[in-house]
Amino acid sequence: MRTELIIEAPAKINLLLDVRGKRVDGYHELETVMHQIDLSDTLCLRPAKKFELSCDGAELPCDESNLALQAAHLMYKSYGLPGGLEIELTKRIPVGAGLAGGSSDAAAVIRGVDQLFELGLETADLCRLGERIGSDVPFCVLGGTALARGRGEVLQPLPAGPELSMVLIKPPFSLSTAAVFDAFDARQVQEWPRLNAFLSIWQPGEDVARVAGALCNVLESVSLALQPEIGELKQLCLEHGALGALMSGSGPTVFALYGSRAEAQEALAGLSEPGYETWLVHSWRTGEG
């Protein structure tokens, strides 16, 4: 058994998000393309006598409501592991932002405990456990880029597409995922995603402008109505040379795609408004960060 493991937990964006209907279990049937980016939390995991989470971010609860701690309990219980786990979390992904920060932390704990105790579990088994913590956790366990269906747990890995360079902007408010899904009404959707067209474009080396043209998220119909600032932010990105801009997940974070790292870097200053958090980010590549 290893005594310590440091593991990265990257954020995700949704390049495409379609809601196909409401299910009897209360969740929504999704069709979404998720893509990891190089904005990540760092977790230091140490087997210990008790379960304990410490975090450098003041706004984050370190109690049992934290998904990282829930994931630790689940792994230990499922595999009869002794003792507990000390988790030291360095938080960089904003909370309540549509970037799956909490889900990615949980996924990192699941993968990390598997490595610490050398359990040798299959990714599919780890994903199934992750599903019990939250809908985005299985994707965060799998990583890379994937098409997610069902609640989000039916995953089809996709090839690495073109490397994306983008500016990520989070307005100074959060949105509740549950509230956004709850208010979803298909009649209010103005633009529907075209999945097959997206998948034919999503190839390494493809022109990023074509990817930008295929971005679509039906949850914008809810979040932009609740918070018109999100729409204004997208417009601002386009005025600053973005090839395309989209809200991620249920929001409110917006990402703006650029043709190159240099163009994204240049746009960053113009997109930095008081109260808004901005990041220059790229596609997450395995082994990076």
* Residues at the contact surface with ligand C5P, assessed by CB under 6 A: 27-28, 30, 134-136, 151-152, 177-178, 181
Q: How far apart are CA 9 and CA 37, in angstroms?
A: 10
Q: How far apart are CA 228 and CA 201, in angstroms?
A: 30
Q: Is residue 289 exposed (0-12), middle (13-18) or buried (19+ Cβ within 10 Å)? A: exposed
Q: What is the closest distance, in whole angstroms, from the C-beta atom of residue 17 to ligand C5P in the complex?
A: 10
Q: What is the closest distance, in whole angstroms, from the C-beta atom of residue 74 to ligand C5P in the complex?
A: 14
Q: What angle do CA 48, 49, 50 make, to 5 degrees?
A: 95
Q: What is the closest distance, in whole angstroms, from the C-beta atom of residue 150 to ligand C5P in the complex?
A: 7
Q: How far apart are CA 21 and CA 16, in angstroms?
A: 16
- CB nearer to ligand C5P: give 31 or 125: 31
- CB nearer to ligand C5P: give 146 or 164: 146
Instruction: Output DSSP code: residue 283.
Output: B
How do beta strands 5-22 and 216-217 pair? Answer: parallel
- CB nearer to ligand C5P: give 131 or 263: 131
Catalytic residues: 12, 136
- CB nearer to ligand C5P: give 165 or 177: 177
- Are 212 and 137 spatial neighbours (Cβ–Cβ below 8 Å)? no
Q: What is the closest distance, in whole angstroms, from the C-beta atom of residue 131 to ligand C5P in the complex?
A: 9
